Amino acid sequence: MTAISYASGISSEPLLGITIGDKFDEIVSQFPDNEALIVHHQDIKWTYSQLHAQVNTCAKALLASGIKKRDRVGIWSSNRCEWTVLQFATAKVGAILVNINPSYRIHELEYALNQSGCCMLVIADKFKTSNYEKMILELAPELAYAKIGQLHATILPELTTVVSLSETPPRGMLAWSAFMDKAEACSTSALEKRQAELSFDDPINIQYTSGTTGFPKGATLSHHNILNNAFFVARTMEFTEKDRVIIPVPLYHCFGMVLGNLGCMTHGATMIYPSEGFKPLAVLQAVQREKATALYGVPTMFIAELEHPEFDKFDLSSLRTGIMAGAPCPVEVMKKVHKLMYMQDVQIAYGMTEISPVCTQTKMGTPLVKQISTVGQVHPHLEVKIIDPDTGQVVPLGTKGELCARGYSVMLGYWNNEEQTKSAIDSARWIHTEDLATMNGEGYINIVGRIKDMIIRGGENIYPKEIEEFFYTHPKIRDVKVIGVPDAKYGEAVMAWVVLKEGEQATAEELTEYCKGNIAHFKVPKYFKFTDSFPMTVTGKIRKIEMRQISIRELGLDTASKIETA
């Protein structure tokens, strides 16, 4: 009988049957004086006991504000201590934390808040070119004269409260300090009662992923999903309470809040944020200053660190492990991380938000050749298989097909989107990744392509359909198709092929300007091609593969297209 591409993760360690809040309390009791959270740009260094006090105060403030179980609370901010405090606090009261990408602009923010039904939103005042207070006031001008907690906005009908991390927020917004003061109106027993009413299968987090339908989809994750995935990812790296982890990846993403925050918490390890947003120099400084043992990042981050002009000045010898994930990992970069950053046990992880997020990972002691050419083996307590996309049959080992996963980490579904949920998760609870992969006889998996029309730019998943839908709002554009093209720095770059309406003229600069302030910067096309038509099949389907080949040739991207990745 032919061996088939199927593997199940065996583990002597059972799954955690506990909520995030209860696990957090358990870890605090074990390691009260261990450093839990270090935030360099805020000059914060909290022990687990001190973080616990902040989290409980925030949880009581949420209860005092009338937040009920399953209410949605949004967070729109870069990496800060308040982000983490709110993450654990919402878990303690059973509110669903809605992660909002800090790069979102008005169009995307409005959709996420309304689709999730957020009743409370916590925002930073500004970050880089984003002025969050200004954008929320543009969507909800009623804030300027609304009483705190009693917003009635036409465009955002569910939103009642906006909390700002600014010390002096605009009228209508509640300062974080004033919000935390509300905790005085809630007793400890009330918090304990709410926490005791929660189940580990309750939804606790919504993360928006770009949608092939033109709109983002809210992957809904439970305590059980993300707590266990974080625990086993960290356990695979052999984390203990002595590990100190640099987390430069954004918290709004699973990489930051699950693999970073929860991965550290479940083992009593230390979370370290070197800066609000990624800065390679800040990462290098943090590794040396904190004697970090682990470093996370997408390939572009590691490349930026390795190529920094001051790289050789830093002592990185305390590093032993970490995760490189989020995009294909260039083989040469992995070799340099091994040699120059001392990360002999750096691991490759593969997954997607809908799988909480990891389903395969390399392990300690994995031979270098497999570390740099595969995405590892199936995770504990999960199953993976590779199927023929047309027949659904599991393919023989070594044969290319669609990678599917099943187990505890598969999301509950897309928030209020049953149709998309059914298209992603079949009746046997297998989630279809739409990524093409192969499996060898040892169960190592290699990602060889994608079925889905997705671009991965520096770890950000971008769906062309969403950008195309946006460009259809431009008065001069008749038709548009968006593709990914090779990019030496980010792995892929966004390109738009544009057909203008008859008699119209436009420039790439004009279309780029149209994007600013409306869609996230990483979705703005780097390249534009004005054309009269698109390559098509005889049945009228757009041939995006041919478009990509033409673009590579015309833009001179042959070198970037040949960079070897795992």
Query: Number of structural domains, the chain?
Result: 3
Domain boundary among 417, 450, 483: 450
Domain boundary among 400, 422, 450: 450
Q: Are 263 and 231 in contact (CB under 8 A)?
A: yes
- How far apart are alpha carbons 408 and 379 in whole angstroms? 11
Main-chain dihedrals φ then ψ at residue 563, nearest 5 degrees:
-65, 125
Question: Could you tell me if residue 566 is inside a domain?
Answer: no
Say yes or no: 252 and 323 in one domain: yes
Domain that holds residue 470: 455-561
Say yes or no: 443 and 530 in one domain: no
Say yes or no: 284 and 389 in one domain: yes
Three-state SS at 554:
helix
Question: Could you tell me if residue 209 is inside a domain?
Answer: no
Residue range 446-481, pLDDT digits in tens: 987 777 677 888 888 787 878 988 898 899 998 899
Whether the predicted pLDDT of 341 surpasses 60: yes
Say yes or no: 141 and 290 in one domain: no
Say yes or no: 232 and 273 in one domain: yes
pLDDT at 390: 86
The CATH number given to whatever domain includes residue 472 is 3.30.300.30
Say yes or no: 411 and 538 in one domain: no
Helices 20-30 and 81-93 pack at an angle, to 10 degrees, of 120
The CATH number given to whatever domain includes residue 280 is 3.40.50.12780
Question: Could you tell me if residue 313 is inside a domain?
Answer: yes
User: Quick one: three-class SS letters along 191-260?
Assistant: HHHHHHCCCCCCEEEEEEECCCCCCCEEEEEEHHHHHHHHHHHHHHCCCCCCCEEECCCCCCCHHHHHHH
Question: Could you tell me if residue 216 is inside a domain?
Answer: no
Question: Could you tell me if residue 211 is inside a domain?
Answer: no
Binned at pLDDT 50, 70 and 90, residue 176 comes out as very high
Task: Enter the pTM of the model.
Answer: 0.86
Residue range 296-339, pLDDT digits in tens: 998 889 989 998 999 999 999 999 999 998 777 777 788 899 99
Say yes or no: 235 and 127 in one domain: no
Say yes or no: 316 and 441 in one domain: yes
Say yes or no: 359 and 400 in one domain: yes
- How far apart are alpha carbons 164 and 536 in whole angstroms? 50
Say yes or no: 444 and 486 in one domain: no
pLDDT at 9: 97
Say yes or no: 415 and 474 in one domain: no
Say yes or no: 395 and 538 in one domain: no
